[in-house]
């Protein structure tokens, strides 16, 4: 137990800065949807191919991302980054701004992954 400014004991594990729960949930939701979009881009490319042809930009992207598990890269890592930032920055507005920036990057990643060429004939 740790004493706070008023001398009252509090649990160190429950020391979550105010205003962090919503940004964490937002990043987790967008991250999960982003991972789903990347998974779909890699395993359900547009016709005429069923998987990206080797040597195409999408195949290169998918080999890098799928090998590293997109659920970890696009959900857990951004949430961990936000949680670490929240421990050092005690301003909820800055944490929300960081969460929005992370969400924009995650959405841009899905858009790029789905726009990459999957076939050498297209």
Highest mean pLDDT among 6-20, 40-54, 80-94: 80-94
Full-model pTM: 0.76
Give the H/E segment covering residue 120.
Answer: none
How far is 85 from 56, CA to CA, in rounded Å?
Answer: 37
Please report the beta strands in 37-121, taking only residues with DSSP state E, as ranges in sequence order.
Answer: none
pLDDT at 112: 86
Domain boundaries, the chain: 18-115
Over residues 51-82, the pLDDT tens digits come to 667 777 878 888 887 766 778 888 899 999 99
Spatial CA neighbour of 109 closest among 47, 34, 44, 20: 34
What tens digit of pLDDT does each residue of 37-56 get?
888 888 877 676 666 677 77
Asked if 8 and 84 touch (Cβ cutoff 8 Å), the reply is no
Contact of 89 with 95, CB cutoff 8 Å = yes
Best CA proximity match to 113, nearest among 33, 58, 43: 58
Highest average pLDDT, of 25-34, 48-57, 80-89, comes from 25-34
**Beta bridge mates, 10:** 2
């Amino acid at each position: 137990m740790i004493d706070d400014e008023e001398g009252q004991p509090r649990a160190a594990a429950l020391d979550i800065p105010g205003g962090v729960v919503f940004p964490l949930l937002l990043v987790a939701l967008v991250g999960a949807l982003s991972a789903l979009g990347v998974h779909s881009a890699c395993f359900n490319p547009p016709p005429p191919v069923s998987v990206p042809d080797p040597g195409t930009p999408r195949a290169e992207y998918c080999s890098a991302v799928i090998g590293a598990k997109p659920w970890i890269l696009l959900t857990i890592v951004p949430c961990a980054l936000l949680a670490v930032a929240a421990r050092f920055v005690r301003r909820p507005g800055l944490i929300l701004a960081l969460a929005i920036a992370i969400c924009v990057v995650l959405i841009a990643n899905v858009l790029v992954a789905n726009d990459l060429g999957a076939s050498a004939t297209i």
